[in-house]
Amino acid sequence: MSTRAYNFCAGPAALPEAVLRRAQAELLDWRGIGLSVMEMSHRSDEFVGVASKAEQDLRDLLAIPANYKVLFLQGGASQQFAQIPLNLLPEGGTADYIDTGIWSKKAIEEARRYGTVNVAASAKSCDYFRIPRQEEWTLSPDAAYVHYTPNETIGGLEYDWIPDTGDVPLVADMSSTILSRPLDVSRFGLIYAGAQKNIGPSGLVVVIVREDLLGRARSSCPTMLDYKVAADNGSMYNTPPTLGWYLAGLIFEWLKEQGGLEAMGQVNRRKQQKLYEFIDASSLYSNPIATADRSWMNIPFVLADAGLDKAFLAGASARQLLNLQGHRSVGGMRASLYNAVSEAAVDALIAYMAEFEKENG
Ligand code: PMP
């Protein structure tokens, strides 16, 4: 049996043990060719095979329509904060952004360098505890796109609905929610996600973009950041992050073996439900987010007495329940329940929380 700890890190996050074991087994000699995947040309038949299988598996998992390109890029989700306006916001244009927390605010600040940003709605007025419904949004009639953050990794807010922006392309930062359940990709103009939560190791960002949005980059856009250049070159305009791409491919295969996103969605639904139910029934722990807007993947909670935080974390570590400390900007605790965090991990966490409450409540 494994001695691996239960890892609740927000990212880089837990990876499935089966994937790590497979990568380990293949590391020195990838499928009998005498090299590791890191040591072969990205243009070799072998690597191109790895890359296109990963793309196809992702397409299968998310049922990505044929008129979307899938790009495997670098620079993390943060680079997308600039790359999106450089590609989709014409000089002098306006883009609508929805502010639901720290990650949407970062996207807003970066986009302001490239044009006019209309913050069409903000959760600020309710202390970021609730997502404004679409009836409360003030969208601009001439927006080049609408950007939102379906899951706020730090605040723990998640939309359980997809905004309807008509003909205006909807752009979504899905870094911490992609692959957690089925998704209707056709509702979006562009989806992006840093890999280090549900896709694989850091160093890779996946972009799913509708083909008609390619070829719109402003002339000052660096070649490396032009989506069309990436799409025309199969994400190999330069040397891609080959190890990360390969590992993402192993994760996609693993997800298919688990039964795909329908099955993952059922497990993920149960995992978060259990933890929220426990927190809501407790008098020591609490989560402030409006019930309908609670994140499945990132569950922040505080202890009624912050003086107990240290003891709580120490006890958790002693039980191999790791990385439960909240983000440095907000404190408290946070349990991230990505795909590779098993239901047994959530059960172990709840058992520990109950025991700690009994001793300290
Ligand atoms: N958006 C969201 C929702 C995130 O959670 C993160 C990282 N935690 C980022 C963007 C930034 O990602 P990266 O570090 O890959 O730039």
Cβ–ligand 1 distance for 265 under 6 Å, the answer no
Which residues have C-beta within 8 Å of that of residue 45, sequence separation ≥ 6? none
pLDDT in tens, 199-238: 999 999 999 999 999 999 999 999 999 999 999 999 999 9
**Which of 225, 257, 289 corresponds to the end of one domain?**
257
- Which residues constitute the domain of residue 312? 260-360
Catalytic residue among 30, 69, 103, 296: 103
CATH number of the structural domain spanning residue 353: 3.90.1150.10
Q: Which of 153, 154, 298, 334 to mutate to test the pocket of ligand 1 (most atoms within 8 A of CB)?
A: 153
pLDDT in tens, 136-146: 999 999 999 99
Question: Would the annotation count 242 as a binding residue?
Answer: no
Same-domain check for residues 282 and 239: no
Cβ–ligand 1 distance for 287 under 6 Å, the answer no
Radius of gyration of the chain (CA): 21
Give how many domains the chain has, as a whole number. 2
254 is catalytic: no
Give the whole-angstrom CA distance, residue 149 versus residue 73: 19
Catalytic residue among 197, 226, 254, 296: 197
Same-domain check for residues 183 and 71: yes
Give the whole-angstrom CA distance, residue 178 versus residue 200: 12
pLDDT in tens, 312-323: 999 999 999 999
Question: Would the annotation count 220 as a binding residue?
Answer: no
Give the whole-angstrom CA distance, residue 215 versus residue 231: 10
Same-domain check for residues 221 and 271: no
Same-domain check for residues 353 and 287: yes
197 is catalytic: yes
Same-domain check for residues 219 and 315: no
Question: Length of the chain in residues, anyone?
Answer: 361
Is the Cβ–Cβ distance between 119 and 163 less than 8 Å? no
CATH number of the structural domain spanning residue 233: 3.40.640.10
Q: Ligand 1: which residue has its CA nearest to atom 10?
A: 77
**Which of 238, 257, 276 corresponds to the end of one domain?**
257
Rounded to 10°, the helix 102-111/76-88 angle is 40
Cβ–ligand 1 distance for 78 under 6 Å, the answer yes
Same-domain check for residues 239 and 319: no
pLDDT at 331: 86
- Whether the ipTM is more than 0.95: the answer is yes
Q: Please list, residue by residue across 311-335, b when 16 or more beta carbons sit within 10 angstroms of its beta carbon and e when fewer do.
A: ebbebbeeeebbbbbbbeeeebbbb
173 is catalytic: yes
Q: Ligand 1: which residue has its CA nearest to atom 5?
A: 153
pLDDT at 2: 65
pLDDT at 315: 98
* Nearest atom within ligand 1 for CA of residue 11: 8
Q: Which residue has the tokens 């959760």?
A: 123
Whether 228 is in a domain gets the answer yes
Cβ–ligand 1 distance for 104 under 6 Å, the answer no
Q: Which of 123, 110, 42 is nearest to 81 (CA)?
A: 110
pLDDT in tens, 17-58: 999 999 999 999 999 999 999 999 999 999 999 999 999 999
**Which of 257, 275, 293 corresponds to the end of one domain?**
257
Same-domain check for residues 151 and 246: yes
Cβ–ligand 1 distance for 298 under 6 Å, the answer no
Give the whole-angstrom CA distance, residue 210 versus residue 172: 13
Instruction: Count how many Cα atoms sit within 13 Å of the Cα of residue 172 in the half-sphere of its side chain.
Output: 26
Whether 222 is in a domain gets the answer yes
Same-domain check for residues 142 and 250: yes
pLDDT in tens, 97-133: 999 999 999 999 999 999 999 999 999 999 999 999 9
Same-domain check for residues 168 and 311: no
Whether 13 is in a domain gets the answer no
Same-domain check for residues 332 and 200: no
Considering the chain, what percentage of its residues have pLDDT values greater than 90?
A: 98
Same-domain check for residues 247 and 269: no
Cβ–ligand 1 distance for 153 under 6 Å, the answer yes
Whether 58 is in a domain gets the answer yes
Cα of 203 vs centre of ligand 1, distance in Å, is 11
Same-domain check for residues 251 and 270: no
